[in-house]
Structure formats: structure tokens, C-alpha cells
Structure 1
Amino acid sequence: MKQVVQNYKSGELALLDVPEPACKPGGVLVRTLYSLISTGTELMKVSEASKSLLGKAKARPDQVAKVMQSVATNGLSATYRKVTSKLDSYTPLGYSLCGVVTAVGAGTDDVAVGDLVSCAGNEHALHAEVNWVPKNLYVRVPATLDPRHAAFGTVGSIAMQGVRRGEPALGDVALVIGLGLIGQLVVQLLVASGVKVIGADPDPSRCALAESVGAAVCAAPGSSVVETAVAELTGGFGVDQVYLAAGGSTNQPVELAAKLARDRGTVVDIGKCSLDLPWNAYYEKELDVRFSRSYGPGRYDPSYELEGRDYPIGYVRWTERRNIECFLDLAARDKIDVSPLITHVAGFDDAVETYRALNEGELKAVAVLFDYPQPEDTELSVPTDSVEIGGPPAARVGLSLGDQSVRVRKSTLRVGFVGAGNYASSMLLPHLVEDESVDLYRVVTTSALSATNAKRKFGFGDASTDLDELIEDDSVDAIFVVTRHSTHADLTIRALEAGKAVFVEKPLALGTDELTRILETVEKTGNDRLQVGFNRRFAPLLNEARQRFGRRIGPASVRYLVNAGRLDGGSWYNQDSEGTRFVGEGGHFIDTVSWLLGDDPVSVYAAATPGQKDLQAVLRYPDGSTATITYATNGSSQFQKETIDLTADGKVLRFDDFARASVFGQKKWASTRLPKGRDKGQARQVASFVEAVKTGAPMPVPLESLAATTLATLAVETSLNTGGPVRVETEPTT
């Protein structure tokens, strides 16, 4: 299928051939009839991408701050790979469309194949011939509504949420500053609510358009016409609400809002303009400044948008989906008329030229629609069933390895990738590309564009959204699973059952039930060709420090401080379905300690601060060694992330965040700072996995150790919940 994309690094726009998305549970596949260009938001993104790197940095200082934090945490080299990989990728455009349902995923029963739906979301309602859309981001279109008008559902809900934030009442007078697409819709919604509307925009044609759809008076922001209209319609008191639907860097909108609003009036920011509030003016009138967040409640909440969990109507009357429904209903009953806003309808094949004409000012438009060619026959996709995983943690699983491993010697390794996000693109794939014995055969992602980006950047032979095809392909030797935590166990089991060698990022499992299923699969199939992404034991500097420390005779004491830092509130790590943060990351540190001590832990005791923000896990080892892992989220971002102190036999090993290492004994050894940044072992880890699979040699980390580390990680949570120590044991199955 075709999709409109942009390379953020170069600014290039393209109509790209990408694989069709799969129909996943909890949503539907939609073949697009019309999609709407947001002439404000999208053109701002297109313009920003054409800037130099310095210009991009000035436009997004929030992203610059994240980059600097990544440099402090991961080093310059790793951050550079991550940033350049992300910049030099195609990104999607679009977020509002109307189309026909062609397939229905498991758990979805409110629409059927053939239904006309309006869809929302900058990851799901893209300018693409086919999109997968989750349940709360599509709405059935009323029978009497033109599909072209239904394509306005998303931008209509943005305007509607802004109006709701202003809480207008019958007889109010409102000022709308900025009469682009959103501003025009705000005008109509206010008029439909019984509000007298005054508009302000420097473009006379937009002012005339707003007046034609119900505004009382519209003129340029600095003109006396606007001030006179406000005085006449409000008796000199000022408007009840001001809606900021303008963009740009000028501060004029907020200054005009303060001047023309009444005492204790309301100012609602819907667009993205400068907000340097003149303190005296806002203070003297005690103005209520409010922000409107996109489509409404539910926006940016993964549990609502991706998992389909609705908010009870008694607590949240107007969610983003209900806003779209309301807007479509108003349009179907002719209370809102979007037809005057449609300046141009372009064929989808002309998408790139249309964007160019808009960006360069050749095409003056309020709203532009893409019209998609429709195939005579639409092939329906068979929905996949969802997989329920998880379960209560325990401390013991069966482990029976025997001597049944599948080992085949090969000169070339044919590799498939499941997932191609930031970590895979910056930490794994660059190393595989350099290995001439590796054939990057196929990459599979849930997002068609992600797979296409990976194919383009790393030379995969094929890009797909069909997971079954990859797993069932007998020519594939090894599969890398680099997806979200909740999918690791099931994907690992399926790949092992298909006879593949598997490299899966940590964690291997989110519960002991999942780990048990994996080990039972190994026993049943005889396929133990499994590696988990515990890369720190492969770090060159840590290996050198361990060697300098030398052979250990007596028990050791290890202190491992992990200054993990806070997560953004919207991080998927916070989702309940992905397990706790420590379960997701803690295996790294337990594996590192176990490798340093040369054995696996036998018991775990953990304690935490309220809310389990910071925790300490004490691990005991068979020879009496102990290790304390402090996992802290409330530390300073200026301090390094990982610090290790190992004490034994009158010696101390000190390791500082993959940058410096020292050993204190009869003689002192100290490393110099690594000139190329922090090497956390990903390159050696990948190379070791590839070599083991090609030659049939034992896997780099024994399966017993992978299982023990996973059990110990899960035991931390068990100990926190029970308040006592938890034994870590694996026993043979019967």
C-alpha cells in the first residue's frame, strides 16, 4: 500500500510503498476514502523538518534537553547513534480520516466489515491507504453524512474540546483569534451553542469565510473593527471567552486577549502560539487561562487509546471518542457545515505535490482532502486472537534441559527481526549490519512504516507486518525479539517451537508462569538456543576490571547503585500490562552481579520506600557472598547511572558507569576514560550470539543462568509484597 511520509532529517516528503498493517485484537482495519490535511499542525511539522539541525534544535528545545540527558546517561556515541537513527527515519503524517472497515479484530463487536467510520490519531489515522485503528479512536459515521465531511471528525473534536474548556453559555460573546481550520470550526460550534462570535485574523478571505458561517464581525487583530465590535456586543465590558486558535511566535494573540476580555473572563489556548502573558493585564482582570488538550479526555492515555478502556460516562461525560461522535452528529444534522472549508480535494497520488504547494504558499487553503483510489475487490484479513499472559509470581519453576539442544553449523546466518524501535535501531542492528555473515532477511513490526524504515536503513531483504509468515519460514535461522515486555514470552515460545534460535531483549518473562512455559517448550522441543539481552557482562571495561581483580577465594560483598531516574508520565514502562519497572530492567543488574561472582543467587530479600519508588534488593549466593542492588528513581540526573563496588580478599573493584574502573589491592590499577563513550557490551553480545548459532557452540549464557536471573528478578517483587526473603530455586521437571 502507499503512505505519505517525511524524513525529518532531510525534510524529504514521499509517497512510499509500505506493507499493509495487520489486524490486531481490539481494533479494525480501515481502507481510507478521504483523509484531511491539517493545514496548521501538519504544515508546521513539514516546515520544521526543512530547517537545519540548529533550526530544529531551536524549534524543539524539549527534545534537545532529552538528548543532553541521554548523553549524560548513555554517553555521546550511543546517543549519537540513537538520535541520528531517529532523525534519519520516515515519519508519518495525518491524523483525521474517513474510511471503510475491511477487517475486525478479536474483541471488537461495535462495527462490522463494510461500515463507514471516522478515525483519529497521529499513529492510526494516517495518510495511508489502510490503517489499523484501535477501538476508542474510530466512530461509526451517521448514514446521512457525506464521507468527505466525516473526514473532519478529529479536527472537529479538537475544536469541540476547546469550546468545552471555555464553558460558554447562551448569550455569551466570544472572540476567536486565528481563523484557520480549527478557528473556523470553533466559530461554528460557538454559534451552534448560542454564542455571539467575533473573529480576528490577518487574512481577509478567512475573515469573510468565518462571517459566512455565522461570525458577527471578523477583521485583522490590530484593527479598530474588532475592538468596536467587542464594545458594541458586550456593552463595553469585554468578551466572556477568548479562544486562541492561532500559531506562530508572535505574542499578539495573548496581549489582544487580555485587552478585550471582560473582568474574570476566560482565555482558552487551543493552538500553539507564544504565551508570554502580560502579568499586569492578566492579574488586574484575574483572567482564567486554560489549555485544551487535543481531542479531549483519553488523549495520550495508552489504556484508553490502545487498550480500549473507556471512562465511565458518569465521571467523564465527554471523552475524545464521544467528542468525535458529537461532532459527526452535529454535521449530520446540518448544525455544522464543513463544506465551505474544503478548499481543495487532491488525488492521493498527488500528495507530495499538494504538500509542496501548501508549504510554499502556491495553494491557499483552509482544508484539503486526499481522495483515495478504491480497489474493485477488497481482500479481507483474518483477525488474530489476543494472547492472555501474566499471573501471580512464584519462586520455583521446573527446569529440565537434558542433552537435546538443536545445534546446526552454518556459514551464513539468516536473521528475522520482530520489532525495530529505538533500542533495536541504535544498539543491535548497527552491529549486525557490520557482520558479513549475517543475512538480515526480514523485519516485522506492527507499524508498516517502522518496518519500512528498518528495511531502508539496515538493508533487510523484506519488510512486513505478518508475524506468522516470519516464524513459519523454514529458511530463517534466528529471530530477534525486540518488542514490548508483555510480548516477550509468547513470541519466544513461538520461535522456539518453530526451531529458531532466539535472541530476546530483557525481560524474558513477566511472571513465573511465563518462564515455566518457556522452559517447558525447551524441554518439549529440545531447542535451547536462547539468549536474553543481558549485555553488561559483555562490556569490555567491566571484563578488564574483572580480570584485573583476579581469582576470588572468599565470599564477596557487592554494592550496585542504579541511579535510574524518573520516567516521563506517558512512558509505556508505566503501563500495568508491561510489568513493574524493576521487572523490566532489574535483570540487567542481577545478571551482572551473578556473572561477577560466578554463580546464581539462592535467595532475595527486598525493601522499598513508599510507593516502591526506590528499592533495595539483597541477594545471597551459594558461597556466602551477598549483593545489594539499590534501584533509585529519585536521584540526581547529574550523577552517573551505574556504580559497582565489589569487595573480597582484601581487594576492591570499583566500576563507574562504563567510563572508569579501578582495582585496589597490593597494587592499584585504574583505567582511563574511554575515548569513544560508554560501551555496555551490545556489540560483543550480538557477536557472541551470532557465533554460537552459526557454529553450534553453547549459547553465551547458560539457560540455567537466564532462568535463575529471571526468577530472582521476579522474586524482588514477591519479597516486596510479602515482606520476607524468597528462595530462588530451579528444579528438574518430572
Structure 2
Amino acid sequence: MKQVVQNYKSGELALLDVPEPMCKAGGVLVRTLYSLISTGTEMMKVGEAGMSLIAKAKARPDQVAKVVQSVSTQGLSATYRKVSGKLDSWTPLGYSTCGVVEEVGEGVRDVKVGDLVACAGNEHALHAELNWVPVNLYSPLPAGLDAGQAAFGTVGSIAMQGVRRGEPQLGDVALVVGLGLIGQLVVQLLVAAGVKVVGVDPDPARCALAEELGASVCSAPSSGVVDAAVADITGGHGVDQVYLAAGGSSNEPVELAAKLSRDRGTVVDIGKTRLDLPWNAYYEKELDVRFSRSYGPGRYDPSYELEGRDYPIGYVRWTERRNLECFLDLVARGRVDVGPLVSHVADFDDAVATYRGLEAGELKAVAVLFRYPQPEAGTPVPATAPSATTSPVVPVVPQQRTASIPLGRPLRIGFVGAGNYATSMLLPHLAERADAELTRVVTTSALSAANARRKFGFAESSTDLDDVIDDPSIDAVFVVTRHSSHAALTRRALLAGKAVFVEKPLALDEAGLRSVLDAVAESGNDRLQVGFNRRFAPLLVEASQRLGRRVGPATVRYLVNAGRLDAQSWYLRSATEGSRFAGEGGHFVDTVSWLLGADPVSVFAAAAPGRQDLHAVLTYPDGSTAVITYATSGAARFPKETIEVLADGSVLRFDDFARATVHGPRRWASSRIPRGRDKGQAAQVDAFVTAARTGGPFPSSVASIAATTRATLAVDASLGSGATVRLDALAGAPS
């Protein structure tokens, strides 16, 4: 299918051929009929992409701060790879569409194949021929509503949420600053609510359009007309609300808002407006400044947008979807007229030229629609669609593994997942190898798959997992997806006879682990490696060698300064993705076990309230002990990982992959000038490819992988019971 994309590094726009998305449970696959260009938000993004790197940094100081933080914790080299990879990727455009339902995912009851729906979301309502849209981000069209008009649904919802934040009442007077697409819709919604509207915009044509659509008076901010109109309509008191629907770097909108507001009036920011509030003016009138967040309640909440959990109407009257439904109803009943806003309708094949025309100012427009090829009459479409799952639809016949790859042939690799870690820490090392061939990449997002194919040289890309698992030409599979899918995907790949590299964790519970172990037993295929990369870190390997072989038990202290995550991070979705330690703790357990040369036998854990900060005490067969302290409350600039190993009169001290020392009969210290924080990703990839190609041993046995996984899971079990957990008891317990 075709999709509009932009490279944020170069600014290049393209109409790209990408794989079609799969229809997943909890949503529908929609073939687009019309999509709307947001001439404000989208063109701002297009403009930013064309800036120099310095200009981009000035435009996004929040991202610069994240880069600086990443350099301090991950090192310059790793940060550079990560940032470069993110910049030099195709990014999608669009967030407001209308189309026809082509497939219905499991659990969807309110629409059927052939229904028209309006769709929302900058990840789900893209300028693309097909989109998968979750249930709370689409709305069926009211009877008689044209598909082109319905494509305004998302933008209309943004305007509606802004109006709701202002809480207008019948007879109020409002000022709308900025009469672009959002501003024109705000004007109409306010008029429909019985509010008198005064508009401000430097463009006379937009002022005339707003007056045509119901505004009382509109003019440029410097003309004096607006001031006089506000004084006349309000009797000199000032407007009840000001709606800021303007962008740009000028502070004039907020200054004008203070000037024309009444005492204790309300100022609502809908656009990306500069907000250097003049303190005296806002204080003297005690103005109430409010922000309007996108389409309404539910925005940026994954449980609402992705998992389909609606908010009870008694507690949240107007959600994203209910705003969308309401706006479509107003358009269908003629209370809002979007027709006069459409300046241009372009064929989708002309998308790039249309953007360039808007960017150059050759195409003057309030709103532009893309028109897509219509489905051919009589084209058969399935009545329902199976949901995309990570488990096999039909039983997979176990295949015995081959001992090695034929001499001279590269290892053919299928890759499942292409997120930040995969594209910055794994794929660059695979792409540069002559003995590995990147055969196919599969992701849930068509554009992510296309990006990975372009950047790393995959022969093919897809959104269908079966294209990797069921392809007999593929020798090895990398599983780099979200935690909850690892065990099922690993099981399928092992049963299909593939060598498997899976990112940690292997499993989130004992049942998941056993399903993988059963697959090994059933297939005889034990070619498995989990992405525990610390044991491959060159500096840690050297420090361990300098410490030398030990005779007596060792004591290990491992401090992990994990830091806090953004509240919306999927890592915090413990109900589906496990606890933070369950997801990440395997790294540290494996590192300790590798340093001690044995697998743990028991685990005891204690935690602060909330279980985010914890101590895990591990014991080993020879009497060695290790304490892993996992903390989220430390300083961001403190080293993330610090290890101390005490044994036989010597001490190894390891500081965050940058410095290491060994104190003992002979002292050793690494260079004071760190060579970057190499955490072992390249070496672990080399170990996997070598083992898979030659049929040689993998870095860890399946038994050792299972022990590390059980020890990691035992931390949560111990926190729940308050008791020590013996790992042999877990291994023997029924799942």
C-alpha cells in the first residue's frame, strides 16, 4: 500500500510503498477514502523537518535535554547511534481520516465490514491507503454524512475539546485568536452554542470566512476594529473567554487576550502558542489560563486508546470518541459546515506535490483533503478478520534443527520488531556482517517495517508474523518485541526449527517459561539465546579476567540506579508487561551468575512501598551471595550500574561500563579515559551468529537461561510472600 512519510533528518517527503497493516483484536482495518491535512500542526512538523540540526534543537529543547541525559548515562557513541537512527527514519503524517471498514478484529461489535467510519490518531489515522484503528479511535458515520466531511472528525474534536475547556454559556462573548482550520471550527462551535464571537487574524480572507460562518466581527489585531467591537458588544467589560488557536513565536496573542478579557475571564490555549504571560495584566484581572489537550479525555492514555477501556460516562462525559461522535453529528445536522473550509482536494498520488505547494505558499488553503482510489464495485472483502496474535493459528509441526549452515552461505535472519533498541543496538551490528543476511523484518507498523528495510537492507518487510516463522529459508529469528509476547514468539520459532535470539525477559511467568522449555523438549531444538548482553561487555570481561579464578565464596553487590520512567511508558503496564524488575532484572541476575560461574539456588527480596525500589538477595551453591539493589529514586547523573565483587582478598569495582579496578595482591585499573560504554551488544550478536552458523554451543545452556529467568521471577514471588524462594521448588511446581 502507499503511505505519505517524511524523513525528519533531511526533510524529504515521499509517497512510500509499505506493507499493509494486519487487523488485530480490538480494532478494525479501514481502507481510506479521504484524509485531511492539518495545515497548522502538520505543516509545522513538515517545516521543522527542513530545519538545520541546530534549528531543530532550538525548536525542541525538551528533546535536547533528553539527549544530554542519555550522553551522561549511555555514553556519546550509543547516544549518537540512537539519535541518528531516530532522525534518519521515515515518520508518518496525518491524523484525521474517513474510510470503509475492510476487516473487523476480534471483540469489535459496533461496526461491520462495509461501514463508513471516521478515524482519529497520529498513529492510526495516517495518510495511508489502509489503517488499523482501535475501537475508541473511530466512530461510525451518521446517516447521510459525506465521507469527505467526516474526514474533519479529528480536527473537529480538537476544536470541540478546546471549547469545552472554556465552559461557555448562552449569551457569552468569546474572542478567537487565529482563524486557521482549528479557529474556524471553534468559531462555528461557539456560534452553535449561542455565543457571540469576535475573531482575530492578520489574513483578511480568513476573517471574511469566519464572518461568513457566524462570527460577529473579525479583523487583524492591529486594526483597532477588534478592540472597538469587543467594547461595543460587551459594554466595555471584555470577553468571557479567549480561545488561542494561533501558533508561531509571537507573544502578541497572550497579550491581546489579557487586554480584551473581562475580569476573571478564561483563556484557553488550543494551539502551540507562545505563552510568556505578562504577569501584571493576568494578575490584575485574575485570569484563568487553561490548556486543551488534543481530542479530549483518553488522549495519551494507552489503556483507553490501545486497549479499548472506555471511561464511565457518569464520571467522564466527553471522551475522545464521544467528542468525535458529537462533532460528526453536528456536521450531519448542518450545525457545523466544513464545506467552505475546503480550499483544495488532491488525489492521493499527488500528495508530495501538495505538501510542497503548501510549504512554498503556492497553495493557499485552510483545509486540504486527499482523495483516495475508491474500492472497485463488487470487490470481495472478508466478513470478519482473524485477530493478529502471537500464538500459532494452526499447530506448528516440530522440525529438527540442522547442525550448521552450509559452508559459505550467510545466516538468513528474520527479525520480529524494530523499535529503538533493535534499530540502535542490534541491527547495526548485523547489517555490517558478511556472514549474516537480513532476509525479512516484521513489525505491527507498516512504516516501521519499511524504515528498517530501507536502513538495514532487509530483502523484504511485512506486518505478518507468519512470513518469518513459516518461511523455511530463514535460519534464525530475532524476537525484539514487548515483553508479554516473548515466550509465545520464542516457542513458535523454536518449534519451526529456527535458532532464536530473544530480548530479555524470556518469560513473565512460570507458565510462559515452561511453554518454551516444552518447545525445546518437543522439537529437540535448543538453539536459544536471551539478550543478556552484560556478560559480553569488553571492560567487564577484562576486569573479571584480572580478578582471576577464586577459591572461596564471593560476595557481590550490584547497584542499579534505574531512574524513573515517564508515566506513560509501556514498561509500567505491569498487568500486561510484568513488573519493571521482571522485565529488566534478568540482565543483573545473569551478570552475577556469569561472574560467579554458577546458577542461583534461592532468592529473597524486600522492597520499599510500591515495589519500585527493592533489594534481591541471591545465594549460590558454593556459599556465594549477591545483593542486587534496584532503585528508581536516585539521581539521574549518578552511574546507572555499579558492581563490586569481593573474594579471596581481592575486590573488583566496576563503574557503569566506563571504569574498572581490581584491588588485591596486584592492583589493576582501566584507562581513566573511557572508550565509550560498550555494554556488549556487538559481541553478543557475534556469539549468536557464530553459534547459529557453525552449530557450535550457544553462550548459555537452556538450563542456565531457565535458572536466570526463574530467579528473576522469584523476586516478585518473594515480595508477595515475604519468604525465601528456592528455585528448585519453582521448577517442580505445577504451572
Could you tell me how far apart the structure 2 residues matched to 1:489 and 1:673 are?
42
Mapped to 1, the partners of 2:379 and 2:68 lie a distance apart of 48
Aligned partners of 1:77 and 1:676 also within 8 Å:
no
Q: Offset of 1:610 from its aligned partner?
A: 1.2
Q: 1:158-237, aligned counterparts within 5 Å? A: 158-237=158-237
Secondary structure of 1:273's match? coil
What one-letter code is carried by the residue in structure 1 that aligns with 2:406? K
Q: Distance in 2 between matches of 1:496 and 1:719?
A: 31
What is residue 686 of structure 2 aligned with on the other side? 687
Q: How does 1:30-69 map to 2 (within 5 A)?
A: 30-69=30-69
Aligned to 1:727: 726
The within-5 A match list for 1:547-558 is 547-558=545-556
- Cα distance, 1:383 vs. partner? 2.8
Mapping 1:206-605, distance limit 5 Å? 206-376=206-376, 378=379, 380=381, 383-385=385-387, 407-411=403-407, 412-575=410-573, 576-605=575-604
CA contact (8 A) 2:23 2:387 kept: no
Asked if structure 1 preserves the Cα contact closer than 8 Å seen for 2:412 and 2:436, the reply is: yes
Relative to structure 2, which stretch is displaced further, 113-122 or 495-504? 495-504
Amino acid across the alignment from 2:514? T
Match of 1:107 in 2: 107
Which residue number corresponds to residue 116 of structure 2?
116
Structure 2 residue ranges without an equivalent (≥5) = 392-399
In 2, Cα distance between the equivalents of 1:385 and 1:371?
29
Report the count of equivalent residues: 720
Q: What amino acid does structure 2 have at the position aligned with 1:679?
A: D
The answer on whether the counterparts of 2:31 and 2:101 sit within 8 Å (CA) in structure 1 is yes
C-alpha separation in 1, matches of 2:26 and 2:379: 21
The 2-side partners of 1:423 and 1:596 are apart by 25
Match of 1:396 in 2: none
Q: Secondary structure at the match of 2:545?
A: helix
CA distance in structure 2 between the partners assigned to 1:579 and 1:135 by the alignment = 25
The residue matched to 1:441 in structure 2 has which SS? strand
Query: Contact 1:348–1:372 (CA<8 Å) still a contact in 2?
Result: yes
Q: Partners of 1:274 and 1:550 in 2: how far apart?
A: 61
| 1:625 match | 624
Deviations 1:379-419 (CA, angstroms, capped at 9, x unpaired):
64663346599xxxxxxxxxxxxxx8753343421000001
Which residue pairs with 2:394 in the alignment?
none
1:401 match: none
1:245-271: CA deviations, max 9, x gaps? 000010000000011111111000000
State whether residues 406 and 529 of structure 1, in contact with CA within 8 Å, keep that contact through their aligned partners in structure 2: no
Cα distance in structure 2, aligned partners of 1:676 and 1:25: 47
The answer (yes or no) to whether the contact 2:405–2:411 under 8 Å persists in 1 is no
Do the aligned residues in 2 keep the contact of 1:157 with 1:323 (CA within 8 Å)? Answer: yes
Whole-angstrom CA distance in 2 between matches of 1:91 and 1:728: 46
> 1:713 Cα shift?
0.7
Q: Which residue is equivalent to 1:668?
A: 667
> What residue number does 1:636 align with?
635
Distance 2:511 2:390 in 1: 12
Cα deviation for residue 109 of structure 1 reads 1.4
Secondary structure (helix, strand or coil) at the match of 1:310 reads coil
| TM-score of the pair, normalised by structure 2 | 0.96
> Structure 2 CA distance, aligned partners of 1:354 and 1:373?
17
Preserved contact between residue 390 and residue 489 of structure 2 (Cα < 8 Å): no
Query: Matches of 2:50 and 2:691 in 1, distance apart?
Result: 45
Map Cα deviations across residues 328-357 of structure 1 (whole Å, 9 max, x no partner).
Answer: 000000011000100100010110000001
C-alpha distance in structure 1 between counterparts of 2:295 and 2:441, whole Å? 33
What's the CA shift for 1:609?
1.1
Question: Cα distance, 1:614 vs. partner?
Answer: 1.0
1:361-382 deviation per Cα after TM superposition (whole angstroms, max 9, x unaligned): 0111000000001242656466
Kindly provide the amino acid, as one letter, of the partner of residue 338 in structure 1: V
Deviation at 1:578, TM superposition (A): 1.1
Secondary structure of the 1:248 match is: coil
Match of 1:699 in 2: 698
| CA distance, structure 2, for counterparts of residue 99 and residue 475 of structure 1 | 38
What do residues 560-592 of structure 1 show as CA deviations (whole Å, max 9, x unaligned)?
011111101111111231111111111000100
Report if aligned partners of 1:21, 1:130 keep a CA contact under 8 Å in 2: yes
Percent sequence identity over matched residues? 74
Structure 2 distance, partners of 1:406, 1:721, is 43
Instruction: Answer with 691-700 or 316-325: which moved more.
Output: 691-700
Shift of 1:732: 7.6
C-alpha distance in 2 between matches for 1:103 and 1:336? 31
How far 1:722 sits from its partner (Å)? Answer: 1.2
Secondary structure of 1:322's counterpart equals helix
Note if contact 2:414-2:441 (Cα within 8 Å) is conserved in structure 1: yes
Task: Say which is worse superposed, 75-84 or 610-619, in terms of deviation.
Answer: 610-619
Letter in 1 for 2:662: V
- 1:699 deviates by 1.2
Q: Does 1:655 align with 2:654?
A: yes
Aligned to 2:395: none
CA deviations 1:62-93 (Å, max 9, x no partner) are 11111111111111111111110110000000
The 1-side partners of 2:96 and 2:482 are apart by 27
Range that drifts further, 698-707 or 155-164: 698-707
Change (3 A) 1:731 1:311: closer
Q: CA deviation at 1:222?
A: 2.4
Distance 1:386 1:370 in 2: 29
Secondary structure at 2:485 match in 1: helix
Structure-2 separation of matches of 1:54 and 1:469: 42
**Structure 1 residues 16 and 22: CA distance shift in structure 2, 3 A:** same
How many angstroms apart in 2 are the aligned matches of 1:276 and 1:724? Answer: 56
Q: Tell me the alpha carbon deviations over residues 199-223 of structure 1, each in whole angstroms, 9 at most, x when there is no partner.
A: 0001000000000000000011222
**How far apart are 1:675 and its partner, in Å?**
4.8
Q: Is the 8 A contact 1:106 1:386 kept in 2?
A: no
Counting only pairs closer than 5 Å after superposition, residues 13-92 of structure 1 correspond to structure 2 as 13-92=13-92
The whole-number CA distance in structure 1 between the counterparts of 2:209 and 2:700 is: 68
- Residue 610 of structure 2 aligns to a residue whose secondary structure is helix
Report the residue type matching 2:524 in the other structure.
Answer: G
Q: 1:69 corresponds to which letter in structure 2? A: Q
Letter in 2 for 1:724: A
Contact 1:102 1:378 in 2 (8 A): no
- Equivalent residues of 2:572, 2:579 under 8 A apart: yes
| Distance in structure 2 (CA, Å) of the matches to 1:222 and 1:670 | 69
Amino acid at match of 1:421: G
| Counterparts of 1:251 and 1:138, CA distance in 2 | 36
Aligned residues: CA RMSD? 1.4
Structure 1 Cα separation of the partners of residues 640 and 379 of structure 2: 52
The 2-side partners of 1:6 and 1:442 are apart by 23
User: Matches of 1:668 and 1:694 in 2, distance apart?
Assistant: 40
